[in-house]
Amino acid sequence: MTALDLVPGDGLYERAFSKLLVARKGQRSQLQLLGLRLRSRMAFLRQPTGLHIFVVTLRCEHSCPYCQVSRRSTDKSRFDMSEETAMRALAVALSSPSKGVKIEFQGGEPLLNFGLIKTVVAAAREQAPTAGKQVDFVITSNLALLDDEVLTFCRDNNVHLSTSLDGPADLHNGNRPRPGGNSHELAVDGIRRIQQELGKDRVGALMTTTAASLDRVEEIVDEYLKLDLDGIFLRALSPYGFAIKTKQFAKYDTERWLAFYERGLRYILDINKRGTRFPEFYATILLKRMLTDRPIGYVDLRSPAGTGLGALVYNYDGKVFASDEGRMLAEMGDAAFELGSLEEDDYRSLIVSEKLTNIIGSSLAQCAPQCSSCAFEPHCGSDPVFHHATQADYTGIKPLSEFCARQKGILKLLINLLENSPEDAAVLRRWAAQ
């Protein structure tokens, strides 16, 4: 091995010094600056837990084969959250140290229990000032049940909506079947109504990549552009719920998904270079990690993991989980991420529980095997739920991890674009700056 001798004045030393890679003997300023940058990146730890997910029902009128939730049919009202359980969940949410609390209603299809949503929102708005909280609300819905009452309620209470859109009608309807075969028509109509009546910023959409999506990324992106959505999140399948039972998760591997992602990202970059601002949201999150010291809100890319610390999930039956994916695992018979119950626990007992402490302690990428010596570690994160689901280990064996393979693949692609394509780099830097 050849020693690399850096000498002040040789140019290389100055470049390394400006990047905080080297310092003169006895000099502390570089370490102090590194400490400041690290504190900025880890600022999300100062205000846990901001996201609180209320699973108000497991009922759903869709039957998506990749669904991550163990959904129930629409006539089984025993899978609805009760008002008593919801009020206990609200008390826990408002006792979080975070000044900003986001309450997200999920299912199943949460609009099947819309009455409870209205009750929770009213109670939260009444109690938030006393608790010193700013509360925001999101309903995650397939929009099939969207009507004037829901729209008026969302307008009056500043509620945002999030939905699923997998692409053109045939692809979306194939991925998300419902009676009548019109899930795409209802989703598109719902998105347009929300945009027109509440505003463009009040609705967002997520897509999920199935095997049928792999050769159609341009059509999927075009569908989002046609609806004037503000960007797209190219998202792989996750190993939970019906995605495992119906073997959807096994229908493509990481290599095929990365090819899909790269093709999609390059297509999106071309759209941006032609003058239309349209980011790919996952790349944007990673770019903020790579190019700035701002903390990110995306809990799946935090280290320590955002599991529990960044989000808590209150199930319809009163059980509390460290993440939505952990709740999905419990529906499959694995309670590894079940932290307690609303009948017995408060915020403190959930957060300081031995179970969550063990999970978080296993999620520090900075000192995890393979991660601690990986060049990509500062830009990556930790996903103990994924690794437990696929390897029965919170930390995971990284050479065998699909999470790790996807992260490295995307990061290598982004670095290549930043280094070798000035036009693409300009677009990527704009995404990271906003």
What would the DSSP string read from start to end of 65-78?
TT-SS--B-TT-GG
Range with lowest mean pLDDT among 65-79, 367-381, 414-428: 65-79
Number of domains in the chain: 1
State yes or no: pLDDT of 2 exceeds 70. Answer: no
Instruction: For residue 402, give both structure tokens.
Output: 């699909």
Instruction: Tell me the range of 23-37, 43-57, 71-85, 184-198 where mean pLDDT is highest.
Output: 184-198
State yes or no: pLDDT of 254 exceeds 80. Answer: yes
**Mean pLDDT, the chain, as a whole number?**
89
Residue 264, H or E segment: helix 254-273
Over residues 157-169, the mean pLDDT reads 96
- What letter represents residue 166's amino acid? D
Residue numbers of the domain that contains 63: 49-352
State yes or no: pLDDT of 235 exceeds 60. Answer: yes
Asked if residue 402 belongs to a domain, the reply is no
State yes or no: pLDDT of 1 exceeds 50. Answer: no
pLDDT of residue 265: 98
Map residue 151 onto helix, strand or coil: helix
Q: Where are the beta strands (DSSP E) in 56-193?
A: 100-106, 134-140, 159-164
Confidence of residue 37 (pLDDT cuts 50, 70, 90): confident
User: The tokens 């109690």 sit on which residue?
Assistant: 127
| CATH code for position 149 | 3.20.20.70
Asked if residue 95 belongs to a domain, the reply is yes
Asked if residue 343 belongs to a domain, the reply is yes
Which positions ≥6 away from 49 have C-beta within 8 Å?
96, 98, 308, 309, 310, 311, 312, 347, 351
Asked if residue 428 belongs to a domain, the reply is no
Confidence of residue 242 (pLDDT cuts 50, 70, 90): very low
State yes or no: pLDDT of 9 exceeds 90. Answer: no
Q: Which of 254, 236, 218, 279 is nearest to 409 (CA)?
A: 254
Rounded to whole angstroms, the Cα distance separating 328 from 333 reads 9
Over residues 245-268, the mean pLDDT reads 82
State yes or no: pLDDT of 47 exceeds 90. Answer: no
Over residues 233-262, the mean pLDDT reads 75
Over residues 412-426, the mean pLDDT reads 97
Asked if residue 422 belongs to a domain, the reply is no
Which positions ≥6 away from 248 have C-beta within 8 Å?
65, 66, 210, 211, 237, 242
Instruction: Tell me the range of 2-16, 164-178, 183-197, 226-240 where mean pLDDT is highest.
Output: 183-197
Confidence of residue 64 (pLDDT cuts 50, 70, 90): confident
Asked if residue 408 belongs to a domain, the reply is no
Range with lowest mean pLDDT among 24-28, 285-289, 372-376, 382-386: 24-28
State yes or no: pLDDT of 416 exceeds 80. Answer: yes
Asked if residue 18 belongs to a domain, the reply is no
State yes or no: pLDDT of 138 exceeds 80. Answer: yes
Asked if residue 86 belongs to a domain, the reply is yes
